[in-house]
Structure 1
């Protein structure tokens, strides 16, 4: 469904990895971060964007459930990606 989407384990970064290193990698490689980790909310406030962040506020879900939510909000995610004004989208 999302062919350009990478799990952090497929980025070549060492696992485990610090959130700030993920942030820096996403910035350098022009990726959005999709996460349920609130630390990235704080990074967005502290460092602004890029990278842009989609913060999932729906608790732990299956991969399929997350994909369905992302598809439902695809237009909003596209608007975030294209925006020069906004760097964070929260999905509840």
Structure 2
């Protein structure tokens, strides 16, 4: 799912980058930020894309079920990401916010 040239991990850019640096980089490169951090979803509500934000809100979950859940939901997440600036991903639903 994320092991492709379509995705850049923040660690590859610099583990010491601040949220503002990540935001600026994503904006300049027309990227979507995928995060578990509510700071990015709060920020996008006050701005227009780019970047867009996918906020993963699955709670505490072991890695295997976490990846399996995202793998199953990923096609719908990507579809919503085309039309919405914020996509919130919950265990029981996915919601898009303009």
TM-score (norm 1): 0.77
Higher relative contact order (CA 8 A, sep 6+): 1
Q: CA RMSD in A?
A: 1.9
1:15 CA drift (Å): 2.8
Query: Counterparts in 2 of 1:39-78, with a 5 A limit?
Result: 39-78=39-78
- Give me the whole-angstrom Cα distance separating, in 2, the residues matched to 1:64 and 1:29: 31
Structure 1 unaligned segments of length 5 or more: list them. Answer: none
The number of equivalent residue pairs is: 88
Query: Counterparts in 2 of 1:1-92, with a 5 A limit?
Result: 1-2=1-2, 3=4, 4-11=6-13, 14-83=14-83, 86-92=84-90
Higher normalized strand content (fraction of residues): 2
Structure 2 unaligned segments of length 5 or more: list them. Answer: 91-98
TM-score (norm 2): 0.74
Conserved in 1, the CA contact under 8 Å of 2:41 and 2:55? yes
- Give me the whole-angstrom Cα distance separating, in 1, the residues matched to 2:63 and 2:53: 18
- Give me the whole-angstrom Cα distance separating, in 2, the residues matched to 1:42 and 1:68: 26
Conserved in 1, the CA contact under 8 Å of 2:54 and 2:81? no
